[in-house]
Chains A and B, each alone.
Chain A
Amino acid sequence: GAVVSQHPSWVICKSGTSVKIECRSLDFQATTMFWYRQFPKQSLMLMATSNEGSKATYEQGVEKDKFLINHASLTLSTLTVTSAHPEDSSFYICSASGQGMGDTQYFGPGTRLTVL
């Protein structure tokens, strides 16, 4: 149980385009989802926290207009990187937690974004 999936697993795009990454909880209702970013040889950094039906809360230094997060249902959150640039190339990982799960976060497999 408690499986989180991400789609796509990797994506390559041209500079200036927008990319959408999906995070789904497959067998539980995710009241809260978290988005992390990991640059090469660095640890994960929290970008934002989203609660179903509410606006996301962004960490300091993360541009909310550039990284659009939507958590419209209890099983799906999306992260859209708008006008992507090479410096946005990174590994994006989501996690989800749900009611009755002890606030434990379950992590997705990650999406590798490469911006040319």
Chain B
Amino acid sequence: KQEVTQIPAALSVPEGENLVLNCSFTDSAIYNLQWFRQDPGKGLTSLLLIQSSQREQTSGRLNASLDKSSGRSTLYIAASQPGDSATYLCAVATSGTYKYIFGTGTRLKVLA
């Protein structure tokens, strides 16, 4: 059974700092992995989608990497801004099912 864990659970950083969010999963037979942002009381905003054959994806200040063999993905946020404050979720779609299993999330607060 696929399990997805995110570390740290919460993170508070000063504005401008580069930071790394971690996601680990137990079953390496994945179809893809996706990082989402969720603002309080809101739905999900997709940030980056990495297919199982890819190693990383980049969008603006965001870079996500994937290491299937070790069951890990990282989301790198460069030059963090207060507007980046939100909960970041990673979700893994297991091969054959395409169902997403979500991690527990990292609550990020960027201080001005």
Smallest Cβ distance from A9 to chain B, in angstroms?
9
Interfacial chain B residues near A43, Cβ < 8 Å:
89, 102-105
Interfacial chain A residues near B46, Cβ < 8 Å:
106-107
Interfacial chain A residues near B76, Cβ < 8 Å:
none
Which bucket holds chain B's interface residue count?
A: 20 to 34
* Partner among B32, B43, B89, B100 whose Cβ is within 8 Å of the Cβ of A34: B100
Interfacial chain B residues near A49, Cβ < 8 Å:
99
Within 8 A of B (CB), among A75-99: 91, 93, 95, 97
Q: Are B105 and A109 in contact (CB under 8 A)?
A: no
Q: Are B102 and A34 in contact (CB under 8 A)?
A: no
* Partner among A46, A91, A103, A107 whose Cβ is within 8 Å of the Cβ of B31: A103
* Partner among A45, A93, A97 whose Cβ is within 8 Å of the Cβ of B43: A93
Q: Are B44 and A46 in contact (CB under 8 A)?
A: no
Given contacts A107-B46, A112-B41, contact A44 B89 (CB under 8 A): yes
The docked-state distance in angstroms from the alpha carbon of A91 to that of B34 is 20
The docked-state distance in angstroms from the alpha carbon of A97 to that of B100 is 12
Within 8 A of A (CB), among B23-57: 31-32, 34, 36, 41-44, 46, 49
Q: Are A110 and B43 in contact (CB under 8 A)?
A: yes
* Partner among B41, B42, B100, B101 whose Cβ is within 8 Å of the Cβ of A105: B100
Given contacts A34-B100, A46-B99, A104-B49, contact A93 B41 (CB under 8 A): no
28 pairs, A vs B, C-beta closer than 8 Å: A32-B98, A34-B99, A36-B102, A43-B89, A43-B102, A43-B103, A43-B104, A44-B44, A44-B89, A44-B91, A44-B100, A44-B102, A46-B100, A46-B101, A91-B41, A93-B43, A95-B100, A97-B98, A103-B31, A103-B32, A103-B98, A105-B93, A107-B36, A107-B44, A107-B46, A109-B43, A110-B43, A112-B41
Q: Identify the 9 closest CB pairs spanning chains A and B, nearest first.
A: A109-B43, A110-B43, A107-B44, A43-B102, A44-B102, A43-B104, A103-B98, A43-B105, A46-B99
